[in-house]
Amino acid sequence: MALIVQKYGGTSVGTVERIEAVAERVQAAHDAGDQLVVVVSAMSGETNRLIELAHAVAPQPDPREYDVLVATGEQVTIALLAMALNRRGCPARSYTGHQVHILTDGAHTKARILDIDEARVRADLDAGRVVVVAGFQGVDEHGNITTLGRGGSDTTAVALAAALKADECQIFTDVDGVYTTDPRVEPHARRLDRITFEEMLEMASLGSKVLQIRAVEFAGKYNVPLRVLSSFEDGPGTLISYEEGDMEKPVISGIAFNRDEAQLSIRGVPDKPGVAFHILGPVGAANIEIDMIIQNIGADGTTDFTFTVHRNDFDKARAILEKTAAELGAREVTGDDKIVKLSLVGVGMRSHAGIASKMFETLANEGINIRMISTSEIKISVVVDEKYLELGVRSLHAAFGLEQEEAG
Ligand code: ADP
Ligand code: ASP
Ligand code: MG
């Protein structure tokens, strides 16, 4: 008998019919003798709807009340799934994050899980019941409802799997595994049988939204076997583990992209000690995360400084930068929020030279201008104009031989 945590995302519980299909899948596993904890997201579109409602009432909603509102989507689906299971004769009980005491810090809208009281879950499992838990939500030490950031149900599932020492955490979604790149952008993308935690973490951090970054971090830290599967069809999915898999592994495992970034530059700033701090200090103090940074080689005593931030923070960061520019006597501030970041990821890159030049050559052949470049041990990222996203992803995917092999 295995203890399995399953998580079903928004599309997988998007209609009553889909909830019935999930109930059928859960019941089958339960009938086969497994103990099951099932985490569900809100029905697809529901969290967006709630966020729009919040912004219709207040441009910058109070974070505590925002969490009270957006956490409601998941309460609907846990109850519906538990009802569907009970009706089928599969005993089930639903719980909100508060009820199973998913304790988080108090960082509303992006809270971190600190602890889970698994006793209640275990009691139900021991009584033969399926336990259905609301994803994405928790409670802080003062009893306030918190949420874990977009895509946070993945993290709820992994945290429960870690707390219960589950045999596997299965993330059911609308694709049948982790692909070499988002199959919505490159239809020739190939499903990976396995991928390492390290690579999955890079892919998630660089924009692949198939798993929330924190879920991968958590699974890696507590060594939770994690699998991504389709809720629409049966299949092996993709296993995320520490092993690197077969020896024939390609140098590049995948291509990630991020449409959520924007670029800002401050030009003609004095080239002297302390300038980077003077520019980025106030941005950081405003709680704006900075991603890529470039400082040009100085000429004539001045230099240019460019960095990227989340698109939602673009206007705020630009206003801060205008102020800094005036203080420093900089020449100008420019910005562009129509950019994307494309990244190649692969542990094999460590031992292979020439990946970067092949990437740049491929983009050059397509006439795609590179605005910024950054590299680390297992990834290379470039910033390009947003209009080149599809072309860039597809040409790199082909150049690095990642396509699906033709059948026959
Ligand atoms: P859920 O609602 O089930 O949590 P998400 O929309 O969060 O589903 O994640 C699944 C989506 O992730 C897929 O529909 C796909 O478009 C996208 N995706 C992005 N990158 C990848 C990738 N490398 N492999 C698979 N899916 C990816
Ligand atoms: N419902 C939340 C969201 O849309 C959490 C999740 O689906 O994982 O972000
Ligand atoms: Mg998701």
- pLDDT level of residue 45 (50, 70, 90 thresholds): very high
The residues spanned by each domain of the chain are: 3-174, 255-399
- pLDDT level of residue 407 (50, 70, 90 thresholds): low
Average pLDDT over residues 262-269: 96
Residue list, ligand 1 pocket, CB within 6 Å = 9-12, 41, 151, 173-175, 178-179, 181-182, 184, 208-210, 254
Average pLDDT over residues 44-48: 98
Pick the residue whose CA is nearest to atom 10 on ligand 1. 210
Q: What is the pLDDT of residue 351?
A: 77
Backbone angles phi, psi at 91, to 5 degrees: -65, 130
Q: How far is the CA of 255 from the centre of ligand 2 (A)?
A: 23
- Per the listing, tokens 């997201």 go with 41
Percent of the chain's residues with pLDDT above 90: 89
Average pLDDT over residues 121-128: 97
Q: What is the pLDDT of residue 406?
A: 57
3-174 maps to CATH 3.40.1160.10: yes
pLDDT tens digits, one per residue of 142-153? 999 999 999 999
Average pLDDT over residues 316-336: 95
Query: Is 97 a pocket residue for ligand 2 (Cβ < 6 Å)?
Result: no
Q: What is the pLDDT of residue 246?
A: 55
Ordered strands of the 35-40 beta sheet? 92-95, 130-134, 35-40, 3-8, 168-173, 226-230, 238-241, 194-196
Q: What is the pLDDT of residue 250?
A: 76
- Which strand (E) or helix (H) includes residue 79? helix 72-87
pLDDT tens digits, one per residue of 178-196? 999 999 999 999 999 999 9
| Of 173, 202, 211, best ligand 1 pocket probe by most atoms within 8 Å of the beta carbon | 173
What 3 state SS string does 156-207 have? HHHHHHHHHCCCEEEEEECCCCCECCCCCCCCCCCECCEEEHHHHHHHHHCC
> Which residues have CB atoms below 5 A from the ion given as ligand 3?
9, 151
Kindly report the pTM of this predicted structure: 0.93
For residue 405, what are the contacts with CB-CB under 8 A and spacing of at least 6? Answer: 190
Residue 142: C-alpha distances to residues 61, 139, 407 (Å): 20, 8, 57
Query: Rounded to an integer, what distance in angstroms lies between the CA atom of residue 223 and that of residue 167?
Result: 10
Backbone angles phi, psi at 212, to 5 degrees: -70, 140
Pick the residue whose CA is nearest to atom 15 on ligand 1. 182
DSSP state for residue 338 in the 8-state scheme: S
- Nearest-atom index, ligand 2, CA of 150: 9
pLDDT tens digits, one per residue of 331-390? 999 999 999 999 999 988 887 878 999 999 999 999 999 999 999 999 999 999 999 999
Q: Are 362 and 399 contacting, i.e. CB atoms less than 8 angstroms apart?
A: yes
For residue 308, what are the contacts with CB-CB under 8 A and spacing of at least 6? Answer: 261, 262, 263, 264, 290, 291, 292, 339, 341, 372, 383
Q: How far is the CA of 175 from the centre of ligand 1 (A)?
A: 7
Domain 255-399 - what CATH class? alpha beta
Least confident of 154-158, 162-166, 227-231, 242-246: 242-246
- pLDDT level of residue 408 (50, 70, 90 thresholds): very low
For the chain, the residue count is 408
- Nearest-atom index, ligand 1, CA of 179: 24
Q: What is the pLDDT of residue 287?
A: 86
- Nearest-atom index, ligand 1, CA of 8: 3
- pLDDT level of residue 27 (50, 70, 90 thresholds): very high
Q: What is the pLDDT of residue 248?
A: 56
For residue 35, what are the contacts with CB-CB under 8 A and spacing of at least 6? Answer: 1, 2, 3, 4, 125
Q: How far is the CA of 210 from the centre of ligand 3 (A)?
A: 6
Burial class for 340, CB neighbours closer than 10 Å (0-12, 13-18, 19+):
buried
Q: What does R_g of the chain's alpha carbons equal in angstroms? A: 23
Task: List the structure tokens of 140.
Answer: 């802080």
